[in-house]
Amino acid sequence: MHLLRSELGRLINLRSTWFYAVAILAFIVGLPVMMWAATQGGPAEFRYEPNFAQVLIGNDMAVLIAIIFAAAGSASEISGRRVAFGYLSSNSRTGVHVARMCAQVLIVAAILLVGFVVAAGFLAVVGALVPEGPGLAFTMIGLALLWTAIGSAAGMLIPFAAAAVGVPLVWMLVVEVGVSSVPLDFLQTLTKYLPWIATRQLSDMMDIGVSDLHAGVVLAAWSSAVIGGGLIVARRRDVK
């Protein structure tokens, strides 16, 4: 708990953390409010009147920003040798990295929950919110937090900020999108075993012809491999 409190305090005092917070809130709060304002003058069928899950229209962008925040943070701590100070004050190298990951996840959780409550509250006040789908909304937030942890682990695996950020983003936005777009049977089968595609299935953003249980198992397997691998590599890496 001491390590976690220390990491939370350190991250909260970083100006970059607040920059990421504002960027996430711009999509979680700003985007749905703008959508509501932009559609008010049009026909009723085109007005933005979302349910709870649809309030999170900017969640994909928020996930990308959260990954950048976590991956860059972990990689910078390792490449800058600042992680050595944590090792000196702790009996567990793994504990230092787990504490940082948990602190990053908690900060993103607070940002997402505050943004969601503000956006949903505003839409409810103006009479645009349809009070349905809260379960899916919280599932989407939970998935965003899982990807934050994956981003943190990417920074442990690749201790160079630019590469740690670039690899997961390229994987998600180029590799997985490319594979899912090619109409070849073996690539379409491969699509069913990719983590970002599985996330979108669980978020009701895509239907790839598998059950949510299948998608959940796929995402859990990838997450366990990346997070576990990141912690093992970071613990064993020499810090001079």
pLDDT for 179-232, tens place per residue? 989 989 999 999 999 999 999 999 999 888 899 999 999 999 999 999 999 999
Q: What is the pLDDT of residue 85?
A: 54
Q: How far apart are CA 70 and CA 21, in angstroms?
A: 12
Residues of the chain with pLDDT > 90: what percent?
72
Better pLDDT: 47 or 130? 130
Q: What's the whole-number mean pLDDT along residues 161-165?
A: 94
pTM: 0.92
Tell me the two tokens of residue 132: 């349905």
As a whole-number percent, the residues of the chain with pLDDT over 70 amount to 93
Q: Is 148 exposed, middle or buried (0-12, 13-18, 19+ CB in 10 A)?
A: buried
Q: How far is CA 227 from CA 117, 143, 181, 194, in A?
A: 29, 14, 28, 16
What distance in Å separates the CA atoms of residue 226 and residue 167, rounded to the nearest whole number?
12
The residue among 70 and 240 whose pLDDT is bigger is: 70
- Whether the pLDDT of residue 171 is over 80: the answer is yes
Model pLDDT, residue 54? 95
Average the pLDDT over 27-46 and give the result: 88
> Where are the strands (E) in the chain, listed by range?
none
| Mean pLDDT for the stretch of residues 6-24 | 94
Pairwise CA distance, residues 121 & 131, whole Å: 11
Q: How confident is the model at residue 29 (pLDDT cuts 50, 70, 90)?
A: very high
> Whose structure tokens read 């613990």?
235
Mean pLDDT of the chain: 91
Q: How far apart are CA 86 and CA 106, in angstroms?
A: 19
pLDDT of residue 68: 98
Q: Which amino acid is it at 83? A: V
What are 58's two structure tokens? 């900017």
Confidence of residue 22 (pLDDT cuts 50, 70, 90): very high
User: What is the predicted pLDDT for the residue at 84?
Assistant: 54
> What is the pLDDT, as a whole number, of residue 193?
96
Query: What pLDDT is recorded for position 238?
Result: 55
Which residues are paired to 51 by β-bridges? 130
Q: Answer yes or no: is pLDDT of 42 > 80.
A: no
The reported pLDDT for the residue numbered 133 is 86
pLDDT grade for 59, boundaries at 50, 70 and 90: very high
Mean pLDDT of 3-26: 93
Contact 39, 46 (CB under 8 A): yes
Helix (H, G, I), strand (E, B) or coil at 163: helix
Are the C-beta atoms of 75 and 158 separated by less than 8 Å?
A: yes
